[in-house]
Structure 1
Amino acid sequence: MTHEAMEAGLREGSAADADRPLRIALLTYKGNPFCGGQGVYVRHLSRELVRLGHQVEVIGSQPYPVLDEGEDLAGLSLTELPSLDLYRQPDPFRTPRREEFRDWIDAVEVGTMWTGGFPEPLTFSLRARRHLRARRGDFDVVHDNQTLGYGLLGDVGAPLVTTVHHPITVDRQLELDAAGSRRRRASVRRWYAFTRMQKRVARRLPSVLTVSGTSRQEIVDHLGVRDERIHVVHIGADADLFSPDPSVPKVPGRIVTTSSADVPLKGLVFLVEALAKVRTEHPAAHLVVVGRRAEDGPVAQLIERYGLEGSVEFVKGISDAELVDLVRSAEVACVPSLYEGFSLPAAEAMATGTPLVATTGGAIPEVAGPDGETCLAVPPGDAGALAAALSRMLGDPGLRERLGAAGRARVLEKFTWARAAEGTVARYREAIASAHRSAPGPDARPDRSA
């Protein structure tokens, strides 16, 4: 077969396959939507991919992904790929019983935990490779949701596309900056040792998706991935679910925020400090945090120091409908993070028409938009600026109405899960076509001249 004939055949095949439904394996080592943004991504992207006509099998470990159900989602399924679940509640950092060990990967998992490291990206990738190779031919494409483990290098049975929300090296540096002792810094370095693996893996990936232009640059700078291999596909809000509802009454002084963990990255300490300042002008001001309350730590200490026990409430495990109504009931939504690779909470709050105060950390401005037009923007880590913006918003109903309407319009134009799914499928098809072009032709013969 001539080179021209092969190229013609590839073009014809590509045209014929342009609309063919795909069989997608979506991998996630941490997929529960109540545990952070990676789980939210899996839930909403998988749903919209199926609505486009594709088959999606989510393959994940504990805490297992929560997927949507419905008559239109028959093509969506979950395959559990269990770990030893070493960080489960109520006994995190547990030592498994002897009979729980199944193979050498389990031994690696426990040994890494015992020595202060975080094993799940590596051990999930090894289990996923074994699973995928045993099912060769079942999938057209494999989509990894930021595992970046050694097990996903090489042959996984189908072309690989990887999403990197943002480099975890950013989290590592922020925690090192906040560490108050040499011992704490050593502990942080050991916990984040897996980021060295993620750097090495990322540099060898053929196709990387990310969620913002800011994250794209961070991936180049922190992980060393070549710019041409990285593609931005914005994610967004479920604009049908997160929508305005005038029948939900506003609670005077209510500020709502989302914080999946009490870590420096989320900036919750600055919001608590800002709340104390705001209450001197607006005594009804109070904060509802969607997330788990840490019994000790910087946030708990600040709440006690400022006497805010009755003004800061934590809620967790609420339903989608309860979350949406909570955001609708707030006079202001706030994203105080020092850094975000995208910020789903910002997009979801804006979609409800709730006015937003947000920092300019990381990619948040890409989502929230210009200061004074679609949000009020403040520098990250500045409790005084945060307090001033919150006070201004609480004291000006007209400003809240204007920014709330403009925020929802911005989300509808730029950030929906349907758009994200369409953009992701385009990258899947490019990865499949690239794999076909690089595959040896039917007449290829090994070179025996050496």
Structure 2
Amino acid sequence: MPLSTRALFRAPLQPEPKSRSQAVPAGRRQPESPPHSRPLRIALLGYRSNPYCGGQGIYIRYLSQALARLGHTVDVISGEPYPELPPEVNLIPLPGMNLYSYAKPTQGLKDRGLHSMTDVLEYASFISGGFPEPYAFTRRLAAFFQDQRPDYDIIHDNQSLGSGLLSLLRAGRAVVSTIHHPITRDMNLALANEPEWGMRLLIRRWHRFLAMQKRVAPRLSRIITVSEQSKRDLIQDFRLQAKDISVVLNGVDTDTFAPRPDIRRIPRRIMATASADVPLKGLIHLLQAVSGLITDYPDLELVVLGRPKANGPTARLLNRSGLHGHVRFIHGLSTDELVQEYARASLAVVPSLYEGFGLPAAEAMACGVPVVATDAGGLPEVVGNAGCIVPPADATVLAAVIRSLFNNPESLESLGRAGRQRMLSRFTWRRAAEETIGVYRQVLEELGS
């Protein structure tokens, strides 16, 4: 397809701030105030920030809100899909190709056009099986900073780790990044569960961006991660130094994710989250456990927040096992609808083979739902002794624990109360924001800002 076709080169899209008249934050710094006490001007970055799918949009939304409520000025600079933000947080959109929102990439090309070399590179990588969004976003980000020269104390990247961040470092800016977990873990699990060599090649191609992330991460001012396990994995997989990593546990919105006593729990209804139909989420093992339980519990129902691939491993297992009558998939829920689903569940299961943190476990516990989770990744740090921990990829043990809980309603109630209390005492977004500010100030002090 010729790139000079007029239909492809329309006027470029310009970032439009959500609530301010200019994209660059207004106001001036107050250098007479010491950096350890004055409010900070923070740019929080997200290459994509879907508020309902995956944890990145949730992290952006709640951390930005908590930082703003501590008195700091926060701008979120995000690619599409954009996050939902509170009024006190400003959105600076950086639109790109957003090709994952189209059923056919050619339709995305027709709608968006190619307006820059970044667009060309993003489209070429996408149609050849790559994942270009982190790289393309930070290229646009670097151009935005060069053009607008916004005034921030700290720039906080949310796991894009794109090479465009290096230009900000060269300009003397303080740049930190949250790495929820190294995506090397996702790739290795996907490869281990894929027998076809052609698909294995595609998996490796899609994860080519990891080479960029491994190159960029050690050069940033500081890395924030969300569990001690993720810290250990980053040291191993990304060759980071322990002294350069700060652990700040995520929070959970305990006001929104809360028990709903007006909604009746349905006995033997299990809730699970599988935001992606990939081996990492361990849904296959939960389905195998359910298959072994339905003889004794014919009314057992598994409600999965997610959508399986049409011919993916989940669909194939459902077709073989005859579980269709016991498994229901839901997606596109509002937050309130999700809380209602938790309120109806008698048990939540997080069967993941790896999680850097485990937000679904935290949300379920905040809702007072007893939780069974694997000991994979950071999940034990979230669940603690307020839930049941099982080994990953072991359907037999998982089924035995579920059976034991179904037969002991008192244990279910006790775990539900303990989980709620654990979230209230240790997993608030205010605590996460305060610790994050502590990291910012340490970085600024080290840089002499």
TM-score, normalised on structure 1? 0.89
Q: Which residue in 1 is equivalent to 2:370?
A: 355
Residue 388 of structure 1 pairs with residue 400 of structure 2: yes
What displacement does 1:210 show?
0.3
What displacement does 1:116 show?
1.6
Which of 78, 101, 115 aligns to 1:60? It is 78
Q: In 2, Cα distance between the equivalents of 1:87 and 1:49?
A: 30
What displacement does 1:90 show?
3.3
Q: 1:92 to 1:290 in 2, by over 3 A?
A: farther
Q: Which residue in 2 is equivalent to 1:309?
A: 324
Deviations 1:33-89 (A, max 9, x none): 22201111111111111111112111111122222x3xxx43x01111111111114
Q: In 1, Cα distance between the equivalents of 2:186 and 2:159?
A: 14
Structure 1 unaligned segments of length 5 or more: list them.
Answer: 1-12, 438-450
Deviations 1:5-36 (A, max 9, x none): xxxxxxxx797333322211111012112220
The range that moved more, 212-221 or 86-95, is: 86-95
Residue 90 of structure 1 pairs with residue 108 of structure 2: no
Aligned pairs (5 A) from 1:218-297: 218-297=233-312
Aligned pairs (5 A) from 1:371-450: 374-436=386-448
Deviations 1:297-330 (A, max 9, x none): 1111111212121211111111111111111211
Q: Which residue in 1 is equivalent to 2:28?
A: none
Q: 1:144 to 1:14 in 2, by over 3 A?
A: farther
What displacement does 1:137 show?
4.2
The range that moved more, 256-265 or 294-303, is: 294-303
What displacement does 1:244 show?
1.7
Q: Which residue in 1 is equivalent to 2:166?
A: 153
What displacement does 1:396 show?
1.1
Which of 92, 95, 103 aligns to 1:79? It is 92
Residue 365 of structure 1 pairs with residue 380 of structure 2: yes
Q: 1:258 to 1:26 in 2, by over 3 A?
A: same
Q: Which residue in 1 is equivalent to 2:202?
A: 187
What displacement does 1:138 show?
2.2
Q: 1:55 to 1:99 in 2, by over 3 A?
A: closer
Q: In 1, Cα distance between the equivalents of 2:229 and 2:112?
A: 46
Partner of 2:448: helix, strand, or coil?
Answer: helix
The range that moved more, 185-194 or 411-420, is: 411-420
Residue 168 of structure 1 pairs with residue 168 of structure 2: no
What displacement does 1:99 show?
7.1
Q: 1:92 to 1:305 in 2, by over 3 A?
A: farther
Q: Is the 8 A contact 1:216 1:232 kept in 2?
A: yes
The range that moved more, 153-162 or 349-358, is: 153-162
Which of 127, 147, 161 aligns to 1:114? It is 127
Q: In 2, Cα distance between the equivalents of 1:127 and 1:15?
A: 32
Q: In 2, Cα distance between the equivalents of 1:171 and 1:101?
A: 31
Q: Is the 8 A contact 2:98 2:108 kept in 1?
A: no
Deviations 1:138-159 (A, max 9, x none): 2111100000111101435631
Q: In 2, Cα distance between the equivalents of 1:183 and 1:139?
A: 46
Partner of 2:168: helix, strand, or coil?
Answer: coil
Which of 178, 187, 200 aligns to 2:193? It is 178
Deviations 1:101-142 (A, max 9, x none): 011111111111222211111111111111123232421111
What displacement does 1:294 show?
2.3
What displacement does 1:93 show?
7.3
Q: Which residue in 2 is equivalent to 1:38?
A: 56
Equivalent position amino acid for 2:285 in 1: F
The range that moved more, 234-243 or 336-345, is: 234-243
What displacement does 1:231 show?
0.1
Q: 1:300 to 1:138 in 2, by over 3 A?
A: same
Q: In 2, Cα distance between the equivalents of 1:16 and 1:175?
A: 48
Q: Is the 8 A contact 1:355 1:404 kept in 2?
A: yes
Partner of 1:155: helix, strand, or coil?
Answer: helix
Q: In 1, Cα distance between the equivalents of 2:436 and 2:32?
A: 17
Equivalent position amino acid for 1:111 in 2: A
Equivalent position amino acid for 1:430 in 2: Q
Q: In 2, Cα distance between the equivalents of 1:265 and 1:405?
A: 29
TM-score, normalised on structure 2? 0.89
Equivalent position amino acid for 1:150 in 2: S
Q: Which residue in 2 is equivalent to 1:320?
A: 335
Q: Which residue in 2 is equivalent to 1:24?
A: 42
What displacement does 1:433 show?
2.1
Residue 143 of structure 1 pairs with residue 188 of structure 2: no
Q: Is the 8 A contact 1:242 1:351 kept in 2?
A: yes
Q: 1:393 to 1:99 in 2, by over 3 A?
A: closer
Structure 2 unaligned segments of length 5 or more: list them.
Answer: 1-30
Equivalent position amino acid for 2:84 in 1: V
What displacement does 1:339 show?
0.2
Deviations 1:154-204 (A, max 9, x none): 435631111000001110100110111111111111110110111011121
Q: Is the 8 A contact 2:342 2:364 kept in 1?
A: yes
Q: Is the 8 A contact 1:378 1:385 kept in 2?
A: yes
